[in-house]
């Protein structure tokens, strides 16, 4: 394949606004719930389990059926195909059958003539349970040997021996909370019955192909009988990678059985109770290091709460392991990972996909080492970075694109880190109640699905005889700007304005067998697939023009003025029409498979990632030692997106990712009670950042020299997930501020999210002398 | 009776309305105005923000509100603007595009309306952009581009001349809405009295009715709990419950005065009160919720009562033509139980002007700065004369089943020297008065600790220490 970088760039690299921006602000962007409804459309609501773990002794739905407006009620017995909405493991039920395994699990579905009628009726199910003891915490589950899969290990060398031989050692524990996606648009699907038992499903999903497969599986249809479509989501963040299937399958079942269109739109509470979240992690680390803080050996034990089924927990926990090194070289290392199966909602994909949880353990270890040696944590970080001769990860992949040292050096300068660190120290000398902290943390995030076969993308480009271009690919739009980036790529192939590329909804009947828009891979995979599709057409057109006008192919050029063939210049529209008259195909599919990646999960070695994306952030915070309240005062970021396809979109991803990460580590706290009930199931109790939480000073730059060493689409880099972990700087700065509150008290035991209560507890711990 | 209102200047009349049908549902399902979104159906995310206008003399007073918890009768006689009303090319919209202020776009219509409200001078528009957005959640952008866009959009006053005339013509006459509820299988009724006298008479006749002012809580009974409310009396439109009376001796607020409307007067009474109001709900909630509702609701975590109790506020209750006055703390008897008789309602609250010798500290502690429910809310007023504490009034929310005074600490401090040791002692005495619960907002131990620390905070502040991170700037 030709290196796409050599193309003349017109649209690409320009900060073009999101293709839907004008529609967004005008209220004209259409989401699933906004679609015109068919006459007689029914509304669905799930009846939810009121126990975390119980046998279902009886299910009496007569009151539900009898409720006003109710048209039909469905439970497991009504499923014609398989009662399985899992991505691969076969353990997620559409409806609980015989046993409920988490509080809020769907047990039945009621469809009624109005949303209100359905939701009220859904509360009327009488379910008789025989309670079983629930396993709610990671620790309880592991103690009972309840896991979704066996523990995994990776590493090299004799860690015990190397730790013993190290001049200095620290060990610690870190609890890391989960996170709700809180996409503003909740889960929703609309299913419309088609002829011969086929079904069309509008789904707010990041993974239309999987929804298609699951709907077919549940209904006992073949994939070709199910079409899934998504125009846009009101946010996804991983929460609509596997979690949309339940709603789509429920709506499809009811639509096929009633012969009417069915919409299921979960209200916010049901959405938060029913669907999976980021994994909670518990981490233990022990590091051995020399007097300069350079790590000799490290042992990292990860354990996560996977919830009641597998979902994607295997890959998510693997990714936590892959990122427990972050930017740092561990000469001797063991990373051990346990995956607890609990009676809580099955944890799922969320921006970073386990990476954040792994990475923050590395940062905690750096802070701990620095504290032990009374060094600036930044110095310890810099000394431990990957570098020449120290460039092999714990999973035996050589790091060949390491730009972290350069980026950190630049950020130290641009953020004035040294001076500000001195000022923070000075502040802490002179202020009793408010303490400040500052930290610089880097990010290195591996790009590719670690399940190698998923790294493929497909596209379909149609050019019409008026020169307009319709672009379709397997990627989905959730706000991240994928569509505009890919449109820019296609526009450049023909040197036409990006506005002449029309974007259409993602449909399984246009581009089949796609991977989820996940793992930050959207523009890498679909951008290249669309590029290949467009290139196929362009090559045909060049060949045609050369023949038609009797010039050499090298003398055919697509320019902003039109198509140049020798001395002839035609508008793109006229040229396309001419090609049509001469029976040249103006449509092509395109395909892309990421090269050079491989991974052996048995040994946890290989090259799971095509490349790494890098970034670095400085955060400065203040902590109130009386109340635990805190504020992020200033943030400086440099982030590497390679050669940006669209700097405006990329900056948006960086800032949005950072703030979302900051929420995860500070205000966003999921609270479950001792019966396994989620108590924080609405924004009244679950607090994502607001505008006031954004630091007043926020300097964000894309790294100017950025260029992917691998031949990705125009040498760009993925940007969806990596910036999320820039927020680790906030957590580390808070740790510094807490330490300053009780100088000499030891290293703070601060857990995430660092709520005011946890901050105060960490300070109290230091003051009591057991830090 | 039908609900009649102006939408983009056109009269819309809706017959046979369910009195708890929300404006959001009406817009989306009846009028197919799908630009307004549901994000949470509880007034916390702002995706459903619309502007509501009512006549104020020869002008229209606009305010941004959450349509998801706004009931249809509350629209009667008013003007409504939705994102579609703006046409797509208002400076707020243009600048949001230019600054890349939308990503997924789902929160965007609500953000547009909140910022449009600020641009046209709606209630609370003197606030900073971030404050104006305190009731809008965006999960994608990190807010920076939105804040920049709003600054760039500037102020764009409306010419409401035609609308004023239209509103004057609209003349709402509806006082009563009856609805045959097929789903519930019975008739339900709602009243919209226009004077306190009407309300007093009506409430005597219908003592089982629910009074609804801003519906910032009652809205959730419907959208979240799916409760069927049979009898409602909407009091938000009662002009003589909306008086703000500032006198040298103190401030009297009618029960239906909205937070945003009271904020400036409260800030004049004491700056800390203004700042407290700023922390209640988001802008849309403050534009709908009332001080009277916050009190009458009797919530143990209501944000206003602790501060008002500490300041010595008095409540005027009215039943028929009978009024009684009580200290605010006496109103709260037990969890869910207030000293209020059948047919009796809160008419006004009076907050005496603090003395120059009063040391006042008001704190709200929550996980998030904006729009969060407090773990602990504290009001401390120490009257210090010649180094001695002549009077101590200390009240907390979130610490007991009701907003409650710290009697033991108050008793200890009265006539004691104003000293660090004595405040330290008082802090430890809180355990005698309070045994707070553990819930999602905080543990019992945390609550007790920080409540005590609020006394230490007051001392430190008096020593010239910086004691809060909330207004700390970088640099």
Q: What is the pLDDT of residues A135-153, one digit of tens each?
A: 999 999 999 999 999 999 9
**Closest CB to B143 among A20, A624, A691:** A691
A69: phi > 0 → left, psi -120 to 50 → alpha, else beta; which?
A: left
Give the neighbor-by-neighbor strand order of the sheet with A332-340: A147-156, A332-340, A295-305, A280-289, A168-176
Give the pLDDT mean for A644-659: 98
* Contact status, residue A311 vs residue A346, Cβ threshold 8 Å: yes
pLDDT given at position A9:
55
To the nearest whole percent, how much of chain A has pLDDT over 70?
A: 99
Provide the β-strand partners of residue A83: none
How many Cβ pairs closer than 8 A exist between chain A and B? 290
Q: Which residue has the tokens 């509880």?
A: B42
Instruction: With a cut of 90, say whether residue B217 has pLDDT above it.
Output: yes
Cis peptide before A290 (omega within 30 of 0): no
**Across chain B, what does the average pLDDT equal?**
96
How far is A756 from B460, CA to CA, in rounded Å?
19
**Closest CB to A659 among B107, B142, B467:** B142
Q: State the best of B24, B92, B115, B139 to mutate against chain A, taking most chain A CBs within 10 Å.
A: B139
Contact of A430 with chain B, judged by CB distance below 8 Å, is answered with no
How far is A586 from A541, CA to CA, in rounded Å?
8
Count of Cβ atoms closer than 10 Å to residue A299 Cβ: 21
Give the tens place of pLDDT for each residue, B310-324.
999 999 999 999 999
Contact of A182 with chain B, judged by CB distance below 8 Å, is answered with yes
* Contact status, residue B254 vs residue B348, Cβ threshold 8 Å: yes
| Contacts (Cβ under 8 Å, ≥6 apart) of B79 | B5, B6, B7, B9, B52, B53, B54, B60, B163, B166, B167
pLDDT given at position A4:
45
Q: Would you call A554 exposed, middle or buried from its count of C-beta atoms within 10 A (0-12, 13-18, 19+)?
A: exposed
Instruction: With a cut of 80, say whether residue A770 has pLDDT above it.
Output: no
Instruction: With a cut of 80, say whether residue A234 has pLDDT above it.
Output: yes
pLDDT given at position A2:
40
Give the tens place of pLDDT for each residue, B162-193.
999 999 999 777 889 999 998 889 999 999 99
Residues in chain B closer than 8 A to A667 (CB atoms)? 367-368
Q: Give me Rg for the CA atoms of chain A.
A: 27
Residues in chain A closer than 8 A to B85 (CB atoms)? none
Contact of A233 with chain B, judged by CB distance below 8 Å, is answered with yes
How far is A42 from A682, CA to CA, in rounded Å?
25
Give the tens place of pLDDT for each residue, A708-758.
999 999 999 999 999 999 999 999 999 999 999 998 889 999 999 999 999
Q: Quick one: pLDDT band at residue B1, thresholds 50, 70, 90?
A: confident
Q: Do B460 and A694 touch (CB under 8 A)?
A: no
CA dist list (Å): B455 to A737, B328, B427, B452: 23, 22, 6, 5
Can you give the three-state secondary structure of B34-49, one letter per residue?
CCCCCCCCCCCCCCCE
Closest CA relative to residue B460, chosen from B420, B410, B429: B420
pLDDT given at position A1:
37
**Closest CB to A624 among B134, B183, B469:** B469
Give the tens place of pLDDT for each residue, A463-493.
999 999 999 999 999 999 999 999 999 999 9
How far is B251 from A492, CA to CA, in rounded Å?
66
Which residue of chain A is at minimal alpha-carbon distance from B40? A268
Q: Do B109 and A33 touch (CB under 8 A)?
A: no
How far is A587 from A461, CA to CA, in rounded Å?
6
DSSP string, A55-105: EEEEEE-HHHHHSTTEEEEEEGGG-SS-S---SSSS---SS-BSEE-STT-
* Contact status, residue A728 vs residue A359, Cβ threshold 8 Å: yes
Which residue of chain A is at minimal alpha-carbon distance from B129? A691
How far is A360 from A725, CA to CA, in rounded Å?
8
How far is A713 from A469, CA to CA, in rounded Å?
20
**Across chain A, what does the average pLDDT equal?**
97
To the nearest whole percent, how much of chain A has pLDDT over 90?
A: 97
Across B152-290, where does the E strand assignment appear?
Answer: 176-181, 186-191, 210-212, 231-234, 244-247, 250-254
CA dihedral B407, B362, A663, A106 (to 10 degrees): 50
Instruction: With a cut of 90, say whether residue A125 has pLDDT above it.
Output: yes
Give the tens place of pLDDT for each residue, B443-473.
999 999 999 999 999 999 999 999 999 989 8
**Closest CB to B466 among A33, A434, A680:** A434
Residues in chain B closer than 8 A to A631 (CB atoms)? 369, 469-470, 472
How far is B103 from B101, CA to CA, in rounded Å?
7
CA dist list (Å): A94 to A47, A76, A194, A452, B399: 12, 7, 22, 28, 43
Closest CA relative to residue A522, chosen from A566, A487, A558, A474: A474
Which residue of chain B is at minimal alpha-carbon distance from A629? B469
Instruction: With a cut of 50, say whether residue A420 has pLDDT above it.
Output: yes
Coil vs helix vs strand at A449? coil
Q: Do B105 and A479 touch (CB under 8 A)?
A: yes
| Contacts (Cβ under 8 Å, ≥6 apart) of A411 | A417, A440, A616, A617, A618, A636, A637, A638
Which B residues in the span 194-253 are in contact with A, Cβ-Cβ below 8 Å? 223-224, 226
CA angle B274, B279, B284 (to 5 degrees): 100
Q: Do B42 and A683 touch (CB under 8 A)?
A: yes
CA dist list (Å): A143 to A136, B250, B388: 12, 63, 59
Q: Do A27 and B47 touch (CB under 8 A)?
A: no
- Give the residue numbers of A marked as catalytic: 721
Closest CA relative to residue A432, chosen from B461, B365, B418, B366: B461
* Contact status, residue A739 vs residue A766, Cβ threshold 8 Å: yes
Q: Which two tokens stand for residue B247?
A: 């006198």
Min Cα–Cα distance to chain A from B356, Å: 26
Instruction: With a cut of 90, say whether residue B283 has pLDDT above it.
Output: yes
Q: How many Cα atoms are found within 13 Å in the side-chain-facing hemisphere of B35?
A: 24
* Contact status, residue A498 vs residue A16, Cβ threshold 8 Å: yes
Instruction: With a cut of 50, say whether residue A346 has pLDDT above it.
Output: yes
Which B residues in the span 113-142 are in contact with A, Cβ-Cβ below 8 Å? 129-131, 133-134, 136-142
Helix (H), strand (E) at residue B142: none
A647-665 and A728-741 helices, crossing angle to 10°: 40
**Closest CB to B141 among A25, A634, A652:** A652
Q: Quick one: pLDDT band at residue A692, thresholds 50, 70, 90?
A: very high
Instruction: With a cut of 80, say whether residue A769 has pLDDT above it.
Output: no
Q: Do B45 and A479 touch (CB under 8 A)?
A: no
Q: Which two tokens stand for residue B227?
A: 């409760």
Q: Do B363 and A627 touch (CB under 8 A)?
A: yes
Q: Do B129 and A29 touch (CB under 8 A)?
A: no
Instruction: With a cut of 50, say whether residue B415 has pLDDT above it.
Output: yes
Contact of A235 with chain B, judged by CB distance below 8 Å, is answered with yes
Q: Give me Rg for the CA atoms of chain B.
A: 23
Helix, strand, coil shares, percent, chain A, to 5: 35, 25, 40
Give the tens place of pLDDT for each residue, A42-89.
999 999 999 999 999 999 999 999 999 999 999 999 999 999 999 999
Q: Do B140 and A232 touch (CB under 8 A)?
A: no
Q: Quick one: pLDDT band at residue A160, thresholds 50, 70, 90?
A: very high
* Contact status, residue A477 vs residue A720, Cβ threshold 8 Å: no
Q: State the best of B142, B146, B440 to mutate against chain A, taking most chain A CBs within 10 Å.
A: B142
Min Cα–Cα distance to chain B from A19, Å: 10
Coil vs helix vs strand at A708? coil
pLDDT given at position A8:
45
Instruction: With a cut of 70, say whether residue A368 has pLDDT above it.
Output: yes
Min Cα–Cα distance to chain B from A219, Å: 30
Which residue of chain B is at minimal alpha-carbon distance from A756? B367
Provide the β-strand partners of residue A108: A47, A75
Instruction: With a cut of 60, say whether residue A663 has pLDDT above it.
Output: yes
Closest CA relative to residue A279, chosen from A360, A134, A179: A179
pLDDT given at position A6:
42
Helix (H), strand (E) at residue A440: strand A434-447
pLDDT given at position A219:
98
Count of Cβ atoms closer than 10 Å to residue A205 Cβ: 33
Q: Which two tokens stand for residue A638?
A: 């440099």
pLDDT given at position A575:
98
Q: First vs last Cα of chain A: how many Å apart?
A: 57
Looking at residue A520, the DSSP 8-state letter turns out to be: T
Provide the β-strand partners of residue A459: A473, A590
Instruction: With a cut of 60, say whether residue A188 has pLDDT above it.
Output: yes
* Contact status, residue A459 vs residue A474, Cβ threshold 8 Å: yes
Interface pTM, i.e. ipTM: 0.97
| Contacts (Cβ under 8 Å, ≥6 apart) of A684 | B42, B44, B373
Give the tens place of pLDDT for each residue, B42-74.
999 999 999 999 999 999 999 999 999 999 999
Coil vs helix vs strand at B471? coil
CA dihedral B447, B450, B455, B460 (to 10 degrees): -170
Q: Do B369 and A634 touch (CB under 8 A)?
A: no
Min Cα–Cα distance to chain B from A273, Å: 13
Helices (H), A166-263: 208-219, 244-258
């Amino acid at each position: 394949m030709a290196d796409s970088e050599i193309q003349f760039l017109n649209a690409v690299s320009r900060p073009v606004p999101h293709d839907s921006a004008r529609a967004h602000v005008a209220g004209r962007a259409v989401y699933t719930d906004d679609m015109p409804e068919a006459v007689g459309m029914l509304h669905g609501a799930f009846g939810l389990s009121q126990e975390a773990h119980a046998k279902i002794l009886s299910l009496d739905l007569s009151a539900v059926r009898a409720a006003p407006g109710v048209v039909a009620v469905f439970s497991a017995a009504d499923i014609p195909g398989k009662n399985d909405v899992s991505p691969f493991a076969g353990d997620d039920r559409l409806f609980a059958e015989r046993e409920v395994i988490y509080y809020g699990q769907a047990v039945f579905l009621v469809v009624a003539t109005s949303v209100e009628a359905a939701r009220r009726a859904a509360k009327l199910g009488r379910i008789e349970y025989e309670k079983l003891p629930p396993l709610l915490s990671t620790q309880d589950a592991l103690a009972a040997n309840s896991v979704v899969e066996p523990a995994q290990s990776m590493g090299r060398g004799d860690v015990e021996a190397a730790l013993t031989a190290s001049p200095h050692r620290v060990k610690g524990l870190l609890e890391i909370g989960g996170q709700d996606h809180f996409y503003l648009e909740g889960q929703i699907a609309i299913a419309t019955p088609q002829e011969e038992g086929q079904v069309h499903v509008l789904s707010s999903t990041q993974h239309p192909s999987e929804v298609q497969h699951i709907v077919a599986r549940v209904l006992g249809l073949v994939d070709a009988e199910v079409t899934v479509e998504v125009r846009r989501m009101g946010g996804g963040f991983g929460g609509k990678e596997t979690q949309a299937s339940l709603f789509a399958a429920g709506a499809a079942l009811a639509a096929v059985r009633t012969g009417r269109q069915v919409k299921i739109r979960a209200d916010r509470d049901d959405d938060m109770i029913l669907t999976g979240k980021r994994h909670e992690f518990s981490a233990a680390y022990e590091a051995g290091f020399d007097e300069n803080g350079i790590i000799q050996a490290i042992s990292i034990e990860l354990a996560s709460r996977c919830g009641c089924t597998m979902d994607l927990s295997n890959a998510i926990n693997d990714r936590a392991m892959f990122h427990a090194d972050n930017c740092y070289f561990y000469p001797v290392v063991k990373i051990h990972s346990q995956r607890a199966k609990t009676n809580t909602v099955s944890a799922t994909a969320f921006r970073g996909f386990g990476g954040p949880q792994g990475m923050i353990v590395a940062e905690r270890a750096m802070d701990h080492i620095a504290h032990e040696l009374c060094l600036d944590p930044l110095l310890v970080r810099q000394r431990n970075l990957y570098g020449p001769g120290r460039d092999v990860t714990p999973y035996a992949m050589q790091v060949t694109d390491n730009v972290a040292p350069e980026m950190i050096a630049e950020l130290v300068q641009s953020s004035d880190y040294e001076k500000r660190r001195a000022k923070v120290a000075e502040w802490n000398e002179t202020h009793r109640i408010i303490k400040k902290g500052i930290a610089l943390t880097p990010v290195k995030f591996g790009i590719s699905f670690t399940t190698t076969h998923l790294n493929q993308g497909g596209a379909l480009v149609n050019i019409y005889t008026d020169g307009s271009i319709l672009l379709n690919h397997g990627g989905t739009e959730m706000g991240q700007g994928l569509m505009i980036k890919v449109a820019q790529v296609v526009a450049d192939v023909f040197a036409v304005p990006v506005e002449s590329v029309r974007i259409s909804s993602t449909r399984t009947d246009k581009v089949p067998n796609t991977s989820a828009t996940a793992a930050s891979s959207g523009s890498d995979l679909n951008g290249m697939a669309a590029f290949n599709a467009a290139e196929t057409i362009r090559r045909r057109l060049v060949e045609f023009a050369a023949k038609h006008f009797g010039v050499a192919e090298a003398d055919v050029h697509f320019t902003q003025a039109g198509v140049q063939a020798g001395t002839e210049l035609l508008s793109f529209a006229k040229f396309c029409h001419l090609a049509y008259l001469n029976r040249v195909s103006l449509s092509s599919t395109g395909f892309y498979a990421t090269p050079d990646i491989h991974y052996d999960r048995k040994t946890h070695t290989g090259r799971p990632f095509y490349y790494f994306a890098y970034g670095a952030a400085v955060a400065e915070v203040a902590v109130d030692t009386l109340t635990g309240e805190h504020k992020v005062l200033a943030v400086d970021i440099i982030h590497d997106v390679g050669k940006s396809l669209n700097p405006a979109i990329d900056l948006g991803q960086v800032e949005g990712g950072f703030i979302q990460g900051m929420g995860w580590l500070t205000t966003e706290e999921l609270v479950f009670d001792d019966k396994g009930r989620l108590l924080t199931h609405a924004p009244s109790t679950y607090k994502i950042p607001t505008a006031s939480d954004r630091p007043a000073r926020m300097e964000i730059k894309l790294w100017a020299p950025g260029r992917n060493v691998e031949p990705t689409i125009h040498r760009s880099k993925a940007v969806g997930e990596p910036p999320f972990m820039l927020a680790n700087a906030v957590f580390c700065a808070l740790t510094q501020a807490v330490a300053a509150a009780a100088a000499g008290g030891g290293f703070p035991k601060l857990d995430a999210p660092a709520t005011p209560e946890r901050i105060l507890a960490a300070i109290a711990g230091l003051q009591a002398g057991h830090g | 009776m039908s609900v009649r209102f102006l939408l983009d200047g056109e009269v819309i009349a809706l017959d046979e309305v369910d009195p708890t049908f929300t404006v959001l549902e009406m817009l989306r399902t009846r009028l197919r105005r799908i630009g307004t979104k549901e994000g949470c159906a509880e007034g916390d995310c702002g995706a459903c923000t619309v502007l509501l206008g009512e006549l104020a003399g020869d002008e229209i007073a606009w305010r941004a509100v959450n349509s998801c918890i706004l009931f249809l009768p509350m629209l009667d006689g008013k003007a409504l603007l939705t994102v579609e009303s703006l046409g797509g090319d208002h400076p707020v919209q243009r600048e949001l595009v230019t600054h890349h202020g939308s990503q997924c776009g789902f929160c965007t219509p609500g953000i547009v309306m909140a910022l449009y409200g600020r641009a046209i001078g709606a209630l609370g528009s003197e606030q900073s952009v971030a404050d104006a957005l305190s009731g809008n959640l965006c999960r994608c952008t990190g807010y920076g581009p939105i804040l920049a866009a709003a600054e760039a959009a500037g102020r764009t006053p409306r010419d409401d001349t035609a609308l004023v005339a239209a509103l004057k013509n609209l003349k709402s006459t509806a006082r009563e809405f009856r609805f045959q509820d097929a789903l519930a299988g019975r008739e339900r009724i709602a009243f919209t009295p226009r004077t306190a006298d009407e309300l007093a008479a009506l409430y005597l006749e219908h003592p089982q009715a629910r009074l609804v002012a801003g519906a910032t809580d009652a809205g959730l009974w419907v959208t979240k709990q799916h409760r069927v409310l049979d009898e409602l009396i909407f009091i938000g439109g009662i002009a003589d419950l909306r008086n703000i009376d500032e006198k040298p001796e103190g401030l009297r607020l009618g029960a239906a005065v909205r937070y945003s409307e009271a904020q400036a007067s409260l800030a004049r009474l004491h700056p800390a009160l203004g700042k407290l109001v700023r922390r209640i709900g988001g802008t849309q909630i403050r534009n709908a919720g009332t001080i009277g509702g916050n009190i009458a609701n009797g919530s143990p975590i209501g944000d206003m009562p602790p501060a008002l109790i500490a300041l010595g506020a008095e409540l005027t209750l009215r039943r028929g033509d009978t009024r009684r006055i009580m200290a605010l703390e006496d109103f709260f008897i037990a969890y869910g139980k207030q000293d209020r008789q059948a047919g009796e309602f809160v008419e006004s609250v009076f907050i005496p002007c603090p003395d120059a010798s009063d040391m006042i500290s008001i704190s709200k502690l929550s996980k998030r700065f904006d729009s969060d429910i407090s773990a602990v809310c504290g009001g401390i007023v120490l009257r210090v004369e010649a180094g001695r504490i002549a009077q101590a009034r200390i009240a907390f929310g979130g610490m007991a089943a009701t907003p409650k005074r710290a009697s033991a600490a108050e008793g200890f401090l009265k006539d004691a020297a104003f000293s660090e040791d004595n405040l330290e002692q008082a802090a430890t005495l809180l355990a005698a008065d309070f045994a707070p619960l553990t819930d999602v907002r905080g543990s019992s131990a945390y609550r007790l600790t920080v409540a005590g620390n609020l006394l230490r905070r007051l001392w430190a502040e008096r020593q010239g220490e910086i004691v809060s991170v909330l207004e700390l700037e970088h640099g």
